Amino acid sequence: MSTTPKNDAPQTEPQGAPRDTGGADGFTHLSGDGSARMVDVTAKTPTIRSATAEATVLVAPEVLEALTGGTVPKGDVWAVARIAGIQAAKRCAELLPLAHVIGVHGATVDFEAGPDRIRIIATTRTADRTGVEMEAMTAASVAGLAMVDMVKGLDRSVELTGVKLLEKTGGRSGTWRRDGAPAPEASPGVGRHG
C-alpha cells in the first residue's frame, strides 16, 4: 500500500489550518491522562471529501445463479444490500466510538458479479471537517452482511471478506489510491443492480 499524490485533488484545507496533535505520548485519540477522546476538529475548514471501499462476498455457483437470476427466496438481495449499505454509512459514528458525526452528503453501493463472488463497491461523499473513509468501509461491510443474511439459507458457507479502502480524496492529505485497485465498473451480470 502506498500513497500516490494526484494533481487533480479537490479543494483541501489551507496550509495554516490548526491541527489537533495533542494527546498522551503522541496518540491522537488519547488525552493527557491516557483516557480515550474524540479528536477536536472544530477549527478545521470543511472541504469536499470522498472515499471508496470494497468488500467481497464469496458464494457457491448455485447462489450466484440465484442472485443473478433474481430467484433468492428472501427477495431482492440487491435492493436490500444497497439500502443497508447506505443506511450504515449514515450511522457509522454510532458504531465506531471515536468516529466523528459528519454529514454524509452522498452514498452509493454498487455490485460486480464474478464466477464465485460478488464485489461490493461503496462510495461516500461529504463537505465536512474530516474524511469519510470509515463511512465507505462501513457501507461496504454492512451491504455485504445484508447480502450474507439474504443468501445464508441457500449456502451456510457464504463468506464476507476483503473489506478495504480503495481511494480517498480531499482533506489535508489530498488523494490516495490503493496500488493495483481496480476501477469500479458495473458487471454485465448485475448491470441492472449496479
At 30, list the grid cell. Answer: 488519547
Cβ atoms < 10 Å from Cβ of 133 = 21
Q: Is residue 40 flagged as an active site residue?
A: no
Distance, in Å, from the CA atom of 12 to the CA atom of 23, rounded to the nearest integer, reads 25
Distance, in Å, from the CA atom of 51 to the CA atom of 99, rounded to the nearest integer, reads 15
| Distinct helix (H) and strand (E) counts, the chain | 4, 5
Distance, in Å, from the CA atom of 38 to the CA atom of 34, rounded to the nearest integer, reads 12
3-state secondary structure of 144: helix
Give the amino acid at 18: P
Helices 133-151 and 61-69 cross at an angle (nearest 10°) of 100
8-state DSSP, 30: B
Distance, in Å, from the CA atom of 20 to the CA atom of 119, rounded to the nearest integer, reads 37
Instruction: Please report where in the chains the cell 458464494 appears, as a residue.
Output: 59
8, 110, 149, 155: the active-site residue? 149
The residues that are catalytic are 149
